[in-house]
Structure 1
Amino acid sequence: MRTDRSPPEPLARGVRGLLILGGTTEGYALAEALSERSDLRVVSSLAGRTEQPRRPCGESRIGGFGGIPGLIDYLRAQRLDAVIDATHPFAATMGWNAAAACDALGLPLLRLERPAWQPQPGDDWQQIDDWPAAVAALQRSGARRVLLAVGRQELAPFAALDAVSFLIRAVSAPRPLPAFKDARVLLARGPFTLVDERALLADERIDTIVCKNSGGAATAAKLRAARELGVRVIMRQRAPRPPTTLATDVQAALAWLDTNVSKPSD
């Protein structure tokens, strides 16, 4: 697997370089769709926050770049010609860094982002902007049994709620786990089915779900199960992203590539 220190591959004549900032379902699907393209050298970059991440098709690297200057240096050293930001909707810092680096180098940049979930009739949602607001909402509502699906690195604000029993669902174990008075960790990776989500909420007597508006199908079943069972949802909204061209699916990203990343002149 490629790292920051790896030397650039020599590009064949007529080949352009593309960096996919990935780790999402969309990033993996895009890398797979491009795996047979002989006119593109594609490098997928993963943040490395998940233990033993799934490797995308083709060339890849794991880890940060060292901020905007490091990303600029990497794009130059690897002779890459375009960037597609397919990071998680809540990986906000990387999005701003990508925009700044591409602006500095004059490189085309696309944001590939799945649409956000929207509340449906029968939903009991409270939409909030940060975790302190979520904590306050839990206190006001008198929640007692909460499914906490916010990622293993953002648990600390909830640990002070001694009157709440938390079921923490995460892909990897939190290390260390904050000092909750009453919490269990459930390690699981989506996609999750409606049948399983309905059973989980019922068996655990969950009255509230706290989650991020990540969008996509892999973890959406919990929202339908919550609607059916009358479970409250406290939903964190996405932070603003830098203004750039947006694609909401892989096919739109492929069309953008064909239009904006042409072969170099012979």
Structure 2
Amino acid sequence: MNNAHLLLLGGTSEARDLANALSRHPLRLTVSLAGRTRAPAAYPGQLRLGGFGGADALAAWLRDEGVSLLVDATHPFAARISANAALAASHASIPLLRMERPGWTAGPHEDWQHVPSLEAAITALPRGARAFLTTGSGSAPALGSRPDVTLLLRAIEPLKDLPPHVDQILARPPFSEAQERAFIETHAITHLVSKNSGGAGRAKLDAAVACRIPVLMIDRPALPPDGHTIHDSATALAAIANLLALDTASDRTP
């Protein structure tokens, strides 16, 4: 399909890899980021920051901009964005491809307690716990309910007006297992609270095993049934090339 326009909903390392691969193909690429990070990583194509204003507004944008394919490569916990993407693609009558990294699974020596939400994880902590939260800046609304525990929240962007029992740790990944283990030991952490994001962040889980602390693992939200889900960039690129009938000759060595 000549002059195909692809909208990529990004914000993950997988989205960046896919965008870089797509930049070598003859199409118009627009990358949309939610805009929560003040200094996002560079992407090829045209970058769009900020939300669309809901599914109907996104559908109108897809139609107005002549988008041929919508690719949702957002974070596995960006449930609202994924739901809006599914509705918008349906309303605009264009195909939807979802790219989602596989989740983590517990090994034989890992002590995981599965919980449905951050609120449930905090509720499950015993009195006096010192919990390391790797759940990011969107965690703030859930943090005020347990003043009898200490929460150490790691985030990229600073948060304001946190409760006294919450300590903020500003840091940007990636982190090695040695770094995660040193943090757990230095701060006398008793529990790790993590979203099952999958991908390269497993070092904290390996550190929890080494330090013999339990993990409260927040399960992923259910995704809408619309669209086709793919788990790696190479398969996603092949599916996109097929859907848009892309000429892949630019990838070949003359």
TM-score w.r.t. the length of structure 1 is: 0.88
2 CA distance for matches of 1:31 and 1:247?
Answer: 15
- Equivalent position of 1:234 in the other structure: 216
Match of 1:29 among 17, 31, 44: 17
Q: In the alignment, which residue of structure 2 is the partner of 1:172?
A: 157
Q: Specify the code of the residue in structure 1 equivalent to 2:228.
A: T
2-structure distance, mates of 1:107, 1:42: 16
Match of 2:113 in 1: 126
RMSD: 1.6
1: distance between equivalents of 2:185 and 2:197?
23
Asked if residue 202 in structure 1 is aligned to residue 190 in structure 2, the reply is: no
| Counterpart Cα distance in 2 of 1:107 and 1:81 | 6
**1:159–1:181 CA contact under 8 A, matched in 2:** no
Once the 2 structures are TM-superposed, how far is the Cα of residue 98 of structure 1 from its aligned partner? 1.0
Question: Is the CA contact (8 Å cut-off) linking 1:17 and 1:82 kept in structure 2?
Answer: yes
Which residue of 1 is the match for residue 170 of structure 2?
Answer: 187
Write the deviation string for residues 75-113 of structure 1: whole angstroms up to 9, x where unpaired: 112111001100000100111111111112221111101
Residue 51 of structure 1, CA deviation: 1.8
Between the aligned partners of 1:104 and 1:163, the Cα distance in structure 2 is 48
* Aligned position for 1:3: none
Alpha-carbon distance between aligned partners in 2 of 1:255 and 1:27, rounded to the nearest angstrom: 15
Partner of 2:143 in structure 1? 158
Aligned to 2:235: 252
Give me the identity figure in percent.
Answer: 39
Counterpart secondary structure, 1:189: coil
In structure 2, distance between residues paired with 1:198 and 1:130: 25
Deviation at 1:230, TM superposition (A): 0.8
Query: Residue type matched to 2:79 in 1?
Result: A
Runs of 4+ in 1 over 4 A off after TM superposition: none
Q: Offset of 1:154 from its aligned partner?
A: 1.8
Q: CA deviation at 1:158?
A: 2.4
145, 148, 151: which one aligns with 2:130? 145
Task: Check conservation: 2:5, 2:29, Cα contact below 8 A.
Answer: yes
Residue 143 of structure 1, CA deviation: 5.0
Q: Is the 8 A contact 1:15 1:263 kept in 2?
A: no
Q: Give the Cα separation in 2 of the matches to 1:182 and 1:105.
A: 47
Cα distance between partner residues in 1 of 2:220 and 2:184 = 25
What's 1:222 paired with? 204
What is the distance in 2 between the residues matched to 1:157 and 1:211? 14
Matching residue within 40, 44, 49 for 1:62: 49
Q: 1:165 to 1:73 in 2, by over 3 A?
A: same
Cα distance 1:132–1:168, how it changes in 2: closer, same or farther (>3 A)?
Answer: closer
Instruction: State how far apart, in whole Å, the 2-side matches of 1:241 and 1:121 are.
Output: 28
Amino acid aligned to 1:115: P
Moved more, 160-169 or 116-125: 160-169
SS in 1 for 2:137: coil
**Pairwise mapping of residues 103-122 of structure 1 onto structure 2 (< 5 A)?**
103-122=90-109
AA aligned to 1:231 is I
Structure 1: how far apart are the matches of 2:118 and 2:22? Answer: 37
- 1:146–1:207 Cα contact (<8 Å) kept: yes
> Number of residues paired by the alignment?
246
Tell me the TM-score normalised to structure 2 length. 0.92
- CA distance in 2 between partners of 1:53 and 1:143 (Å): 37
SS of alignment partner, residue 20 of structure 2: helix
1:261 and 2:244 matched: yes
SS in 2 for 1:155: helix
Shift of 1:20: 0.3
